[in-house]
Structure 1
Amino acid sequence: MSEGISQSDRPVTHDAEKGDLFSKFDPLIKQREDLLESGVEDPFNLVMERVLSPTQAICNGRETILLGTYNYMGMTFDPDVVAAGKQALSDYGSGTTGSRVLNGTYQGHKECEEALKAFYGMDHAMVFSTGYQANLGIISTIAGKGDYIVLDIDSHASIWDGCSLGNAEIVPFKHNDIDAMEKRLRRIPEEAGKLVVLEGVYSMLGDIAPLKEMIAVAKKYDAMVLVDEAHSMGFIGENGRGVAEAQGVIDDVDFVIGTFSKSVGTVGGFCVSNHPKFEIMRLVCRPYVFTASLPPSVVATAATSIRKLMHNADKRKHLWDNSQRLHAGLKERGFTLGTEEAQSAIVAVIMPDLEKGAAMWEALLKEGLYVNLARPPATPANMTLLRCSLCAEHSEEQVGTILDMFERAGKTVGII
């Protein structure tokens, strides 16, 4: 409290005035209030009362098909994964209460990193407490003041935050535009440190990057390359290593970032690399050094899941079949989609505006289907969309049911 001013002398203000740090959020507060006053259920506050399987839960007291969970390979209820977590909880307790560089590295953390190295065929693996922290930590540490980061304009928030934290020069380019990327690289001083950051699958529209061509351009200008494969690990590529593997360029990638909260089915993040100096990152990467490590049960489930994902070709094929069938079926029924054809396990259904999107979301929930409602500024080009993420555990019958639900809801709301 400032000297000479008592609490009773301070003016009481409840409106958005100068000094109110919440004033910047007023437009969003108004938008949310208007949406809820229209009678629509809050699409960003859904409670899953009980989860029955990777594809079903109880929401609002009724059984609901899950089509918005990123549980791509359906590993959350895998018996081996669950058993590993229970055993680690019993053997090691509920948490580490410490950083990886102090008391927070248990045998399970090393085994998880060994599983990642085997999965990717790389020399080094580093596990973070979240996927967000993996991007935040790796990007901010390897590219600092005086360095340049060239990145896709549609990059995930964790990538942008990693760029900001490291104080590097940030150079964005038009989404998936190879020529635009090269123009940016050409203007950077030849002697400067350069990092190109790309994603295998972009999470909003589910489209993939032309990594083969982009990485070739990056190497032409002596730039290091980081690829975030969060939404492709586990099912894209012959061994599930992602888009870089599918396009035959994984050996040209310097850093692969990923997460455990998608195909792996738990929580956490990682970076794998073949760079000979990579291990120094454990001492200089602040989001790794200054945070508590993952609980033993989590790394045990992750390690078990990763090892199983190495031998899941049949599930990968089934997931692709599901994605192609849903995409084609929605297109045939008259919906506008984010991609011309299925490119990943994400199928984005474009809505006319937020109000119609929220109404469609609620209509689907009443049908017994949960999807993600995504809105600006998270979405590209100020789109509002319903984002569907398929699971390898969705049956053919469920995909058919989902299509029928979309058709009924779309007609009710007036989308189709």
Structure 2
Amino acid sequence: MTDLFSKFDPLIAERQALLDTGVRDPFAIVMDKVLSPTQAIIKGKETILLGTYNYMGMTFDADVIAAGKKALDEFGSGTTGSRVLNGTYQGHKECEDALKDFYGTKHAMVFSTGYQANLGLMSTIAGKEDYIILDADSHASIYDGCALGNAQIVRFRHNSVEDLDKRLGRLPAEGGRLVVLEGVYSMLGDIAPLKDMVAVAKKHGAMIAVDEAHGMGFFGPNGRGVFEEAGVEDDVDFVIGTFSKSVGTVGGFIVSNHPKFEILRLVSRPYVFTASLPPSVVATAATSIRKLMHADEKRAHLWKNSRRLHQGLRDLGFDIATKEAESAIIAVLLPDQEKAVMTWQALLEQGVYVNMARPPATPAGMFLLRCSLCAEHTDEQVDLILQRFANAGRIAGVIPA
């Protein structure tokens, strides 16, 4: 009889060979203690965090923490139920109200994770006679939502307005269509040309969903995301987001102005059949979202950090995925897994934690270190990061000695 795990044997062997070289496992790091949005203790060493999505540094905000403690005392540790049964507390409605105020929309729907928000929309909104047209580099949650539903799936080349136009033009007249885009693509930190893409989608009569997981908080005049900065707010039907990035906790959401939107609460299985978020979580989320409405200084400092690190790494000789700083994500490309692991470990030993990414999370043959900046990184920390990248790059032989 076949062992169901046998399909993973090549990956198991590859991982073991990597660990046999004496390096730490890049995918099993434990934070022994978290000191702030930008610092933690890892293996007894104070470490600068450059591998979290804590873009706006809200995890240690005093008001956010106080709101969570208060809700924990008043409402307990959990709801033990779905939103459509006993799982809607006052805090869930307050969180959705905060989202509606933040985005200026009529409707907001909170899910237990950002993953489930994409799963809930993609699997529900389009039926077997309909089409979902998505960027080839879409997040796994978008692909999984499509797999859970019955719609026909059409992919277009990453960030290609021309290919999107071509593929929409080939579809038959019958059936609905939903174009799914992301404001910021999380692996390389590049942004979508939303203005042109939305125009193409509208030309072909498609509805539009934009995932702003990595854009919320610091793109646009109000921090709503890339779609706000692109000036297409009135043309986007659904905005999907998460609380686990700029908001600083956990959860997901969809906001919309569509008049029939609320029916999703009764037909979206990832919403109906999941326990709702604990009261302390929605309280922290609501408080954080309302504070992000007035975070201009934080946004400006985050962009300053991103531009400084991007240019500094380029000046050192590193290969950066984007020509300029497009977001708070900066992807440092490495030639192979060995160089990527060597650079990653050299950074960690100096007290800088970044994410290492490899296939299948990246395209075949692409290995990278993904840096995620925070509005709470100080100028001095950015200086230290650049110094330690210089040392690590020379140790690994990926930049000139």
Does the 8 Å contact 2:343/2:392 carry over to 1? yes
CA deviation profile, 1:188-211 (whole Å, cap 9, x unmatched): 111211000000000000000000
Residue 19 of structure 1: how far off its partner (Å): 2.2
Report SS of the residue matched to 1:240. Answer: coil
Residue 413 of structure 1: how far off its partner (Å): 1.0
TM-score of the superposition, structure 2-length normalised?
A: 0.99
Residue 252 of structure 1: how far off its partner (Å): 0.6
Residues in 2 aligned to 1:354 and 1:128: alpha-carbon distance in whole angstroms: 36
**Aligned alpha-carbon RMSD (Å):** 0.7
Residues in 2 aligned to 1:154 and 1:109: alpha-carbon distance in whole angstroms: 32
- 1:196 matched residue in structure 2: 179
TM-score of the superposition, structure 1-length normalised?
A: 0.95
Residue 381 of structure 1: how far off its partner (Å): 4.5
- Aligned pairs for 1:16-415 within 5 A: 19-415=2-398
CA deviation profile, 1:100-134 (whole Å, cap 9, x unmatched): 00000000000000000000000000000000000
Residues in 2 aligned to 1:286 and 1:158: alpha-carbon distance in whole angstroms: 15
Q: Which moved more, 1:197-206 or 1:28-37?
A: 28-37
Bigger Cα Rg: 1
Residues in 2 aligned to 1:310 and 1:112: alpha-carbon distance in whole angstroms: 14
- 1:6 matched residue in structure 2: none
Q: Number of residue pairs matched?
A: 399
Report SS of the residue matched to 1:380. Answer: coil
Residue 20 of structure 1: how far off its partner (Å): 1.6
Does the 8 Å contact 2:336/2:365 carry over to 1? no
Residues in 2 aligned to 1:369 and 1:271: alpha-carbon distance in whole angstroms: 34
Residues in 2 aligned to 1:382 and 1:121: alpha-carbon distance in whole angstroms: 42
- Aligned pairs for 1:1-20 within 5 A: 19-20=2-3
Residue 328 of structure 1: how far off its partner (Å): 0.1
Report SS of the residue matched to 2:120. Answer: helix
Residues in 2 aligned to 1:171 and 1:135: alpha-carbon distance in whole angstroms: 17
CA deviation profile, 1:286-326 (whole Å, cap 9, x unmatched): 00000000000000000000000000011000000000000
Residues in 2 aligned to 1:189 and 1:300: alpha-carbon distance in whole angstroms: 46
Report SS of the residue matched to 2:319. Answer: coil
Q: Which moved more, 1:381-390 or 1:63-72?
A: 381-390
Residues in 2 aligned to 1:373 and 1:83: alpha-carbon distance in whole angstroms: 34
Q: Which moved more, 1:277-286 or 1:163-172?
A: 163-172
Residues in 1 aligned to 2:105 and 2:9: alpha-carbon distance in whole angstroms: 48
CA deviation profile, 1:314-347 (whole Å, cap 9, x unmatched): 1000000000000000000000001000000000
Residues in 1 aligned to 2:174 and 2:299: alpha-carbon distance in whole angstroms: 43
Partner amino acid, structure 1, of 2:100? K
Residue 146 of structure 1: how far off its partner (Å): 1.5
- 1:8 matched residue in structure 2: none
Partner amino acid, structure 2, of 1:358? V
Residues in 2 aligned to 1:38 and 1:124: alpha-carbon distance in whole angstroms: 53
> Where does structure 1 differ by over 2 angstroms across 4 or more consecutive aligned residues?
none
Percent identity, aligned pairs only, is 74
Residue 31 of structure 1: how far off its partner (Å): 1.0
